Structure 1
Amino acid sequence: MHRAERVFVAVNATVVIGCLAAMALIVGANIALRYTTNHSLSWSDEAARYLMIWMTFLGAGLALRTGGHVAISNLQDLVSSRKQMILRSVILLILLVFFAYMVQVGWEYMQRSQYQKTPALRLSFQYIYAAMPVGFALMIVHLLLMARAFITAGTYRGIDGSADAQPGAANG
């Protein structure tokens, strides 16, 4: 299981890095063309925007995995260890329900937008809005993979799969 988890995280991180690299190349090429030829790529801003949307949703699970999202741990710090585990279990269930709901909402929104086209690239907006259900589905997987360590010890799983971050250590 740990090997499959490492592969999953590595693929997720590689795709996020790929989105960032593609954005940098497209914007950089557009800048270079604008200053060397006085012409720019009409689709570069749109492509960079859509890559950023995908990068954000795909990277949200990685941020969740490492405790990178905002966390308020004051209540958790005030209660006993047993109550902390119960509180973290409730938080995890709420997150799972919310993420599942957002997958459903994102899927419906994606379906409604399938006949609209982007102005410059002429892509179906369905491909752009697919980032939402895909990103939240990935967040569910990341959450389930780190659930045991989070509930029992209050730690997050690092990118390498190790339990390394305390919930209130960096994010308050």
Structure 2
Amino acid sequence: MKQFLFVLENLTTRISMLVACLMMALAATLGVFQVVMRFVLEIPAEWTEVLIRFSLIWMVFMGIPYAFRVGAMVSVDVLARLVGPLGKRIFAFCTCIAALILVVTIIWWGWDYATRGRMQSVIGLEGVTMFWAYLALPVGGIFCIPAIVAQFFDPQNSELETAL
């Protein structure tokens, strides 16, 4: 079962990082395009601002699973250094449960926001609704779950070891 979890986590984290990197590249490309259009050609492309915002939202929520997996998202370094091995496992379990509660809440309310956003049109993008921006919350949250559980079973807190 653990082997399946690690394979699933590896796949989902790689996919989420790929999407996050693509969204970052898209935002940077659109930003350069917007500057060239507005200040060089003097023909502003207002639609790029909305797409940059959407891509940054997706970039953040698709990058969070990696942060959870490497232990950079929920980490209290001082407490981890002060407790013994049993204390570290208890602390890791409490952190895992708290992170899962947070992520499930984000998935729940993110889906609620996304479905409500179906009726909210986006200025500058004809026919596009806010559903696509809000959808980043539940999708990113779903990708976080395997990373959080895998982090509990196989902690990767390299920043703790190098900081000592």
Q: TM-score range by the shorter chain?
A: 0.7 to 0.9
Residue in structure 1 matched with residue 151 of structure 2 by the alignment = 146
What secondary structure does 2:22 align onto? helix
Shift of 1:136: 1.3
Report the Cα distance in structure 2 between the residues aligned to 1:38 and 1:76, rounded to whole angstroms.
55
* Contact 1:27–1:44 (8 Å) recurs in 2: yes
Question: Kindly tell me: are residues 49 and 32 of structure 1, through their superposed partners in 2, closer, same or farther at Cα, counting changes over 3 Å?
Answer: same
* Contact 2:111–2:138 (8 Å) recurs in 1: yes
Question: Kindly tell me: are residues 168 and 114 of structure 1, through their superposed partners in 2, closer, same or farther at Cα, counting changes over 3 Å?
Answer: farther
Q: Which has the higher helix share?
A: 2
Query: Which of 95, 103, 110 is the matching residue for 2:114?
Result: 110
Question: Kindly tell me: are residues 168 and 107 of structure 1, through their superposed partners in 2, closer, same or farther at Cα, counting changes over 3 Å?
Answer: farther
Residues 73-122 of structure 1 show CA distances to partners (whole Å, capped at 9, x for unaligned) of: 22232222112211211211121122112211111111122101011113
How many pairs are equivalent?
159
Identity of aligned residues (%): 21
Residue in structure 2 matched with residue 59 of structure 1 by the alignment = 63
Report the Cα distance in structure 2 between the residues aligned to 1:125 and 1:166, rounded to whole angstroms.
37
Shift of 1:9: 2.7
Residue in structure 1 matched with residue 139 of structure 2 by the alignment = 134
- TM-score, normalisation: structure 1: 0.82
Report the Cα distance in structure 1 between the residues aligned to 2:81 and 2:146, rounded to whole angstroms.
27
What secondary structure does 2:119 align onto? coil
Structure 2, unpaired ranges of 5+? none
Shift of 1:169: 4.7
* Contact 2:70–2:151 (8 Å) recurs in 1: no
Residue in structure 1 matched with residue 78 of structure 2 by the alignment = 74
Structure 1, unpaired ranges of 5+? 157-164
Letter matched to residue 141 of structure 1: P
CA RMSD across the alignment: 2.1
The 5 Å alignment of 1:1-172 reads 1=4, 4-69=8-73, 71-122=75-126, 123-150=128-155, 155-156=156-157, 165-167=158-160, 169=162
What secondary structure does 2:118 align onto? coil
Letter matched to residue 153 of structure 2: R
- TM-score, normalisation: structure 2: 0.85
Report the Cα distance in structure 1 between the residues aligned to 2:38 and 2:130, rounded to whole angstroms.
28
